[in-house]
Homo-oligomer: A and B are copies of this chain.
Amino acid sequence: MDFESILQPTINQVNARLDQLLPPTTETPSVLHEAMRYSCLAPGKRLRPALTLICTQATGGDPKQALDAACAVEMIHCFSLIHDDLPGIDNDDLRRGMPTCHKKFGEAVAILAGDALFALAFEVLGNQQAETTVVVETMKILTRAVGTYGLVGGETIDVLSEGKPVDADTLELIHRRKTASLIAAACEIGSLLGSKQDARPKLKEYGECMGLAFQIADDFLNETGTPEQLGKAAGSDRDRQKATYPAIYGIDESRKKAFDLAEKAIQNIQGLVNQSILEGLAKYSVERLY
């Protein structure tokens, strides 16, 4: 199944809406807006916003109603990439095959562009045309996914673990918070904006399993992929003495874990509209890097 073609209309929708929501470079401070747009509109698979839209449809909703929330999720993802790449954290020069935000715009603008994307994500959620109870709930799901018990906490444990022996439980904790939490939030927000609410915990579980599988595949590709596949240097995790699944479990066991998780993700989506695309996404997540 050629997933890139199937997802392309969704990616185009998300990109077009992001372009509308991001502040124009004709307004002050233009360089901040350039940096926000540079990082947020860079080519990408838009996995997280696609999941939001697909989960809305899977629960009987209209994905158009979830487009702004999907863009907010992508903005949070971009904020986290910009900050993780900073010299003070991962010190990466390349992202998606292009210079990282701080390489292109300098460190001050990169820090602030991340912060501004964070604020904009919540502004966009706040402005959604939906019942206020639903709006508040989307905001709450996203704050939990980003904070210390989510993405930012996961990144912190990851950075502090560099060069140290890390056990399997800690590694899973890092990956659950750093990667799976936002992917699960993307699914949960999408299902909240649909109508069949009993599917919400299942789609959240789908997102958690899929997010963890995705991160194992990411670890795996970092070890075995080419710079062209990765959009950055290969083996950077190893160079940085990062804890990874291949380092702890070896290549074969890691691959098995990723496939088992994708299978577990799929068990949660039986009988939903869009089952096949969600199933395809879960399989795709372990087959190659998004």
Interface residues of A (CB under 8 A from B): 23, 28-29, 31-33, 36, 79, 83, 86-89, 102, 106-112, 114-116, 118-120, 122-123, 125-127, 131-133, 135-136, 139-140, 143-144, 146-150, 152-153, 155-157, 159-160, 173
Q: Are the C-beta atoms of A29 and B136 separated by less than 8 Å?
A: no
A123's partner among B131, B143, B173 (CB-CB below 8 A) is: B143
How far apart sit A262 and B108, CA to CA, in the bound complex (Å)? 32
> For the complex formed by this chain, how many copies does it contain in all?
2
A120's partner among B23, B83, B147 (CB-CB below 8 A) is: B147
* Closest chain B residue to A32, Cβ basis: B156
Q: Are the C-beta atoms of A111 and B140 separated by less than 8 Å?
A: no
Q: Are the C-beta atoms of B147 and A112 separated by less than 8 Å?
A: no
Q: Are the C-beta atoms of A136 and B132 separated by less than 8 Å?
A: yes
Q: A31-B156, A126-B136, A126-B139 are in contact. List 12 more A-B contacts (CB 8 A).
A: A23-B149, A28-B157, A29-B148, A31-B160, A36-B148, A79-B115, A89-B111, A108-B159, A118-B119, A120-B143, A122-B122, A126-B143
